[in-house]
Amino acid sequence: MTTTQIILASRPKGLPTLENFKMEDVALPSIRDGEVLLEGMYYSVDPYMRGRMNDAKSYAPPFETGKPLSGGVVAKVIESKSTNFKSGDIITGNLPWQKKMIASEKDIRKIDTTIAPASYYLGILGMTGLTAYFGLMHIGKPKAGETVVVSGAAGAVGMVVGQIAAIQNCYVVGIAGTDEKIKLLKDEFGFDDAINYKTTPDMKKAIAAACPKGVDIYFDNVGGSISDAVISNINFHARIPLCGQISLYNSTEIPMGPRLQPMLLTRSVLMQGFIVSNFQSEFPEGHKQLATWVKECRLKFTETIEHGFEKLPQALLGLFKGDNTGKMIVEV
Ligand SMILES: NC(=O)c1ccc[n+]([C@@H]2O[C@H](COP(=O)([O-])OP(=O)(O)OC[C@H]3O[C@@H](n4cnc5c(N)ncnc54)[C@H](OP(=O)(O)O)[C@@H]3O)[C@@H](O)[C@H]2O)c1
C-alpha cells in the first residue's frame, strides 16, 4: 500500500516558503500486533513547528530533512491489530504528515465526539486549550477584579485564555491584528476591550487607556514590541505567563529591546516561561475542566479550516500572517 506524505525538503532561513516542503508518495508496510492503520481527518498546524524546522536543540527535536513533518492529528482507525482499538474509532495523537499512517496503540487515544466536534481535540480540548488553562490558572493565578491582558488574543490559545479569565471575573483586554478579530473578541468572546496592534501607533498609551487599573496578568503569546508596551504598564506583584514569542520565530538575529528587568525587579513581578508538557501529570484535570466549560457553553471556540492535505504547508505559513481566527486546522 502507498500513501502521500509531506516532508521537510530544506530548512528555512527567516520566514519559511512553500519550497521548504515537498509532497511525495511512500510505501506503507503491513501493521503488526499492537498497531493500527489510520486515515488522517484533521491535522493541526502550530507556531512551535517553525522552531522544529531549524537544526537547533530545543524542547522538541528538529524535524529531519527528507522525513515527514508531524504534529497533532485526529484520525480514523481503518485496520487494527490492537485489542484496544477497532475499525471506525476516532483517535488523536502526534502523528506524521501522511494521509494514512501506522501507529502503536501506546501513542494514540480515543476521543469522545459526543462532547464536541472531533477537530476540537486539536484546539480547545487539546494542546492549545491545555496551554491556555495551565498557563493562566497555574502561573497567572487570576483573582476576581484583576486586569488580564492577552496578546495573540484571537488565536487558538489566546481566545481561550481571555474567556477563562472572564470566568474568573477578571477584566480582560485582548490584542490582535485585524478589526474583524477585535470585533469578534468583544462581541462574541466576552473580552471587555481589545486593541488592534497593527493600526495603533502608540501601544503603550493604548494599553494604559484600556487598563486604567494597570495590568495584573499579562499572558504573552507574541513577544517583541507588543510585550514591551504591555509590560511598561505592569502592576506590582503582576504575573507574566510566558507562553509564546511568535513575533520572533522568523528572526534571523536577536533583536534588542528595552531592558525590562529593573521594572520586573522593583515591581516584584513574576515572569515564568512554560511548555504545556510541564503540566503533563495534571492533564486529566485540565481536560475535565475544559470539557465541562465547553459542555456548559461557558467556553466558545472557533476554527479556521483549510481543506485538502496539500494545504498543510500553506496553513502553517498562514499562522505567521494572521490568516487564522481561533485554531488553524487542515481537514482532509
Ligand atoms: N508554551 C507552550 O507550551 C505553547 C503551546 C501552544 C502555543 N504556544 C505559543 O502560543 C502562541 C499562540 O499559539 P497558537 O497556537 O494559539 O497560535 P495562534 O494564535 O492561533 O496563531 C498565531 C497568531 O499569531 C499572530 N501573529 C503572527 N505573527 C505575529 C507577529 N509578528 N506579531 C504579533 N502577532 C503575530 C497572528 O494573529 P494576529 O492577526 O493577531 O497577528 C496569528 O493568527 C504562539 O507563540 C505559540 O508558539 C506555546
Domain count across the chain: 2
Q: Is residue 117 part of a domain?
A: yes
Give mean pLDDT, residues 68-80: 98
Same domain, 76 and 182: no
**Gap from CA of 152 to ligand 1 centroid (Å):** 5
* Span 34-48, average pLDDT: 98
State the Cα–Cα distance between residues 219 and 165, nearest whole angstrom.
10
Whole-number pLDDT of residue 254 = 86
Q: What are phi and psi of 136, to 5 degrees?
A: -75, -50
Mutation pick for ligand 1 pocket among 178, 246, 321, 330 (CB with most ligand atoms within 8 Å): 246
Mutate to test the pocket of ligand 1, among 134, 178, 222 (most ligand atoms within 8 A of CB): 222
16-35 tens-digit pLDDT = 999 999 999 999 999 999 99
Residue 71 identity (one-letter amino acid): G
What value does the mean pLDDT of the chain take? Answer: 97
Q: Are residues 194 and 250 in the same domain?
A: yes
Average pLDDT (314-320) is 98
In the listed set 237, 261, 277, which residue is the last one of a domain according to the structure?
Answer: 277
- The answer, yes or no, to whether residue 115 has pLDDT greater than 90, is no
The Cβ-side half-sphere exposure at 264, using a 13 Å CA radius, reads: 14
Q: Probe ligand 1: pick from 157, 183, 203, max atoms within 8 Å of CB?
A: 157
- CA 82 to centroid of ligand 1, rounded, Å: 37
- Please give the average per-residue pLDDT across 81-108, as a whole number: 98
Q: In sequence order, what are the residues at sequence separation of 6 or more whose Cβ sits closer than 8 angstroms to the Cβ of residue 263?
A: 231, 232, 234, 269
Sign of CA dihedral 92, 95, 97, 101: negative
Q: Ligand 1 centre and the CA of 327: distance in Å?
A: 10
pLDDT tier at 228 (50, 70, 90 boundaries)?
very high
Q: Are residues 139 and 238 in the same domain?
A: yes
Do residues 125 and 294 touch, judged by C-beta distance below 8 A? yes
DSSP E strands in the chain: the ranges are: 2-8, 21-27, 35-44, 70-80, 90-96, 100-104, 108-110, 147-151, 171-176, 193-196, 215-219, 234-242, 270-273, 303-307, 327-331
What is the CB < 6 Å shell around ligand 1? 46-48, 128, 131, 152, 154-158, 176-178, 181, 221-222, 226, 243-247, 274-276, 319-320, 322, 324, 328
* Same domain as 177, residue 145: yes
Domain that holds residue 155: 127-277
N-to-C CA span, the chain? 19
Ligand 1: atom nearest CA of 278 is 3
Which whole number is the average pLDDT over 204-213?
Answer: 98
Q: Do residues 131 and 271 share a domain?
A: yes
- Lookup result for grid cell 500500500: 1
147-191 residue pLDDT tens: 999 999 999 999 999 999 999 999 999 999 999 999 999 999 999
In a domain, 150, yes or no: yes
Torsion over CA: 246, 251, 254, 257 (sign)? negative
Closest CA relative to residue 267, chosen from 238, 240, 230, 231: 238
Give domain status of residue 250, yes or no. yes
| Same domain assignment for residues 245 and 110 | no
Give 287-308 pLDDT, tens digit per residue. Answer: 999 999 999 999 999 999 999 9
CA of 158 to the centre of ligand 1 (A): 8
Pick from 99, 109, 85, 89: which is nearest to 34 by CA?
Answer: 85
d(CA 241, ligand 1 centre) in Å: 14
- Can you give the CATH number for the domain in which 268 is found? 3.40.50.720
Per-residue confidence band for 85, with pLDDT thresholds at 50, 70 and 90 = very high
Backbone phi, psi, residue 191, to 5°: -70, 140
Whether the CB-CB separation of 327 and 124 falls below 8 Å is answered with yes
**C-alpha–C-alpha distance, residues 280 and 286, integer Å:** 10
Q: How far is the CA of 68 from the centre of ligand 1 (A)?
A: 23
* Tens of pLDDT, residues 265-283: 999 999 999 999 999 999 9
Q: Could you tell me if 208 and 90 lie in one domain?
A: no
Query: Is the domain of 73 the same as that of 195?
Result: no
Residues 222 and 112 in one domain: no
- Backbone φ and ψ for 16, nearest 5 degrees, come out as -65, 160
What is the structure's pLDDT at 234?
Answer: 98
pLDDT value, residue 149 = 99
**What is the predicted pLDDT for the residue at 185?**
98
If asked whether residues 99 and 38 sit together in one domain, one would say yes
| Position 296 in a domain | no
Query: Is the whole-model pTM more than 0.95?
Result: yes
**By C-alpha distance, which of 216, 332, 196 is closest to 267?**
216
Q: State the Cα–Cα distance between residues 261 and 249, nearest whole angstrom.
A: 22
Phi, psi (degrees; rounded to nearest 5) at 37: -100, 130
**Interacting residues of 62 by C-beta distance below 8 A, sequence separation 6+:** 52, 53, 54, 55, 56
In the chain, the amino acid numbered 322 is G
Q: 47: domain CATH number?
A: 3.90.180.10
